[in-house]
Structure 1
Amino acid sequence: MREADRSPDGGSFVYPVGDERGGERLDRFLAAEAAAAGANLSRTRLKGLIEAGLVSIDGATVKDASQAVRGGQVIGLNVPAAVDPTPLGEDIPLKIVFEDAHLLVLDKPAGLVVHPAAGHEAGTLVNALIAHCGASLSGIGGVRRPGIVHRLDKDTSGLLVVAKTDAAHQGLAKTFADHGKTLALAREYLAFVWGVPARPSGVVDAPLGRHAIDREKIAVVPASRGRHAVTHWRVIERFGEEASLIACRLETGRTHQIRVHMAHCGHPVLGDPVYAKGFKSKAARLPPEAQARLNALSRQALHAALLGFPHPVTGAAMRFESALPPDLQNLADALSVSGNPMPFVPILDRR
């Protein structure tokens, strides 16, 4: 191993790849090299650094942790200097749809990470919330997750509720943990999926856990090593035989639940870079405008469109809806067989 410009808490490193190491995944190669050098860098941390553009192969930036390395290549790694674990407030615009003294509901855009993590130490929703709420933000979630009761994937858009006080945080956490069994909780998503389901509606009841080989992915697993996960779905609109718009209601809230469950059914979410890789060739069957819209999307076509819950302090019924954002509305319009724009209709009125 060779290194350059190393500081006590970060540095720039260079790792030549021996012929015997050819074929290894990039993140595994780096994890082994870092461990051999005594550096405390987990594969999760390294994946974040790779996706943040801090790793190069022969001088060219790479962002795919699963890419195989080859003998003779030179891997470059830049590890940022350590930062204060307490996130700082940042002036990031927020689309707030409701706010009172106890909580706020916002419409999160795609691309916004919810809380700081490896590779995303700043520019997150938490940074924006700290700036917006100041000292009133609930601290129950810890310094990295203040006010956060539930989350959306970085590239999923839509409604999210945040606790501003500890009392609200406790009440909301109880509601979300109940999953709507005894307390009123409604969460529905709009998802554009490949193909047309054989039935107008259905339920996916399949436990989820870490993928046996790729630990960064979630998969349907045996109940003995998975967590109970249930997704209710129904078809909203069919776009020929190639794609459909469905509404998904969560009975549980597991990581990547909708994305994994719909892929398990043979109808993965359009644009999903992880769980719909095998469906990329189907894009050629879409109308040209739809192909262009899908290529421009650069994210999974998933939107948290409905959020309903009892106010954690007053008990009042709260219900919010979010229309498709422009990128997904453009995709819907391009997919429409009739060529007419698809108007947004409140989800509960679509039954």
Structure 2
Amino acid sequence: MLPPSPYPPADPELEPDDTDGGDELYEHHRIVADRGQELLRLDKFLLNRLANASRTKIQDAIRAEAVQVNGRVTKPNYRVRPADVITITLPEPPRTGKVIPQEMPLDICYEDADLLLVNKPAGLVVHPAYGHWEGTLVNGLAYHLENLPTGRNGEIRPGLVHRIDKDTSGLLVVGKTDWAMTHLSQQFFYHTIERSYLALVWGAFEENEGTVRGHIGRSLRDRKVQAVYPDGEQGKAAVTHYRVLRRYGPVTLLECRLETGRTHQIRVHMQHIGHPLFSDATYGGDRIRAGQATGTYKAFVENCFALLSRQALHARSLGFTHPSTGAHQYFEVELPADFAAALAKWETWAESH
């Protein structure tokens, strides 16, 4: 169990999250009430407008603040008025196809009627997308959940409400019901989820803890990567808190806590402050960034790269409010073998230097 966080609470003025840890909400419906609309309860209004939606599901979405009227959350008994704009946002983009359930081993750390926690291995893509329609974590979750109410009319909708990169390992929480999925997504959206990552980064830190602030958006030079825009002229606000856990000389082990969840947030923030993640080829951490790139040290680092051939980032813990019980839940997973092996090498190196 981690000690209480020394970091400040999330800033409520920050924009909604994008994804990396993926907290973006997607607008699925936008309905403008007719000018002749009679006063009608919001839940009844939506029941008349949305196909295949039950009143209970609509009420759950309203209570979870996934429904807004004129940009504000409200209650199921709100009376819809002429020209009101009703929007419904959900944690996944509108679906254009069906997920193919595929049997695969899943490291499920916890499961109950409402949710499950899965420890994702590095190398596993989370969501189906162009070039990865099968063999993703969502395909495996669809197989695991296919006999539950999340399947409807042949469409499997595993409730993954956040994401981590393909080559990042660690915890993901999955909602097994519409209510749980919506409730959890709102916690991510309003930054009340507690999550920590372990990151091995290049370089030494004089301070024991710090905070990186800087808008994150797609790079203007390479659309496949993210960049930091410190003056906020582009991108979305992003905040990463970190503290030093262990100094190894040329590299440092950090605990990072996300206040937001932008794409590649930890990776791009660490690169921005001159400490790219160890072995991160996308952001320049796959070459020696501290120490002389010669002799036995060079051979040692290359050996570490061979042990950990992906970015040194692990989603270690998640803390959240249980959607049904209201109890605080906390889960933590150990480092995977590749990350642990590389750390052991650096531990030995540090002890002898």
Query: Is TM (by shorter chain) over 0.5?
Result: yes
Deviation for aligned residue 1:324: 0.8
3-state SS in 1 of match to 2:304: helix
Aligned ranges for residues 35-50 of structure 1 at < 5 Å?
Answer: none
Contact 1:287–1:335 (CA under 8 A) maintained in structure 2: no
Residue 156 (str. 1) matches residue 168 (str. 2): yes
Structure with greater helix share of residues: 1
Instruction: Tell whether the 8 Å contact from 1:209 to 1:220 is kept in structure 2 after alignment.
Output: yes
Spell out the pairing of 1:126-165 with structure 2 (5 A cutoff): 126-136=138-148, 138=150, 146-165=158-177
Q: In structure 2, the residue corresponding to 1:120 is in which secondary structure?
A: coil
Q: How does 1:248-263 map to 2 (within 5 A)?
A: 248-263=256-271
The question of whether the paired residues in 2 share the 8 Å contact of 1:159 and 1:322 is answered with yes
The partner residue of 1:302 within 286, 308, 313 is: 313
Q: Give the 3 Å change call, closer, same or farther, for CA 139–309 of structure 1 in structure 2.
A: farther
How far 1:146 sits from its partner (Å)? 3.3
Shift of 1:138: 4.1
In structure 2, C-alpha distance between the alignment counterparts of 1:268 and 1:303, rounded to whole Å: 15
Gaps of 5+ in 2: 1-95
Residues 218 and 224, structure 2, Cα contact 8 Å, conserved in 1 = yes
Alignment check: 8 A CA contact 1:107 1:159 kept: yes
CA distance, structure 2, for counterparts of residue 281 and residue 249 of structure 1: 24
In structure 2, what is the equivalent of residue 168 of structure 1?
A: 180
* Number of aligned positions between the proteins: 251
- Please state whether the residue corresponding to 1:220 is helix, strand or coil: strand
2:125 maps to 1:113: yes
Distance in 1 (CA, whole Å) between partners of 2:157 and 2:258 is: 23
Asked if 2 retains the 8 angstrom alpha-carbon contact of 1:148 and 1:163, the reply is: yes
Whether contact under 8 Å (1:311, 1:317) holds in the other structure is yes
Q: In the aligned structure 2, how far is the partner of 1:150 from the partner of 1:320?
A: 16
Distance 1:122 1:239, change over 3 A: same
Partner of 1:50: none
TM-score, reference length from structure 1: 0.67
Percent identity of paired positions between Structure 1 and Structure 2: 48
Quote the offset at 1:276 in angstroms.
Answer: 1.6
Deviation at 1:320, TM superposition (A): 0.6
1:202 aligns with 2:210: yes
Computed over aligned residues only, the root mean square deviation of the Cα atoms, in angstroms, reads: 2.4
SS in structure 2 at match of 1:244: strand
Alpha-carbon deviation of 1:175?
0.4
Q: What whole-Å deviation, never above 9, does each CA across 1:77-130 have from its counterpart, x for those lacking one?
A: xxxxxxx93121111100000000111001100001111011111000011001
Shift of 1:139: 6.9
- Once residues 270 and 245 of structure 2 are traced to their aligned partners in structure 1, the CA distance between those partners, rounded to angstroms, is 15
SS in 2 for 1:223: coil
Q: Are residue 91 (structure 1) and residue 100 (structure 2) matched?
A: no
Q: What is the deviation of 1:289?
A: 4.4
Indicate the residue corresponding to 1:232 in structure 2.
241
Say which of 93, 97, 100 aligns to 2:112.
100
1:1-351 mapped onto 2 (5 Å cutoff): 85-136=97-148, 138=150, 146-180=158-192, 185-221=193-229, 222-240=231-249, 242-276=250-284, 279-280=287-288, 282=290, 284=293, 286=297, 288-337=299-348
- 2:170–2:314: 8 Å Cα contact kept in structure 1? yes
TM-score relative to the length of structure 2:
0.67
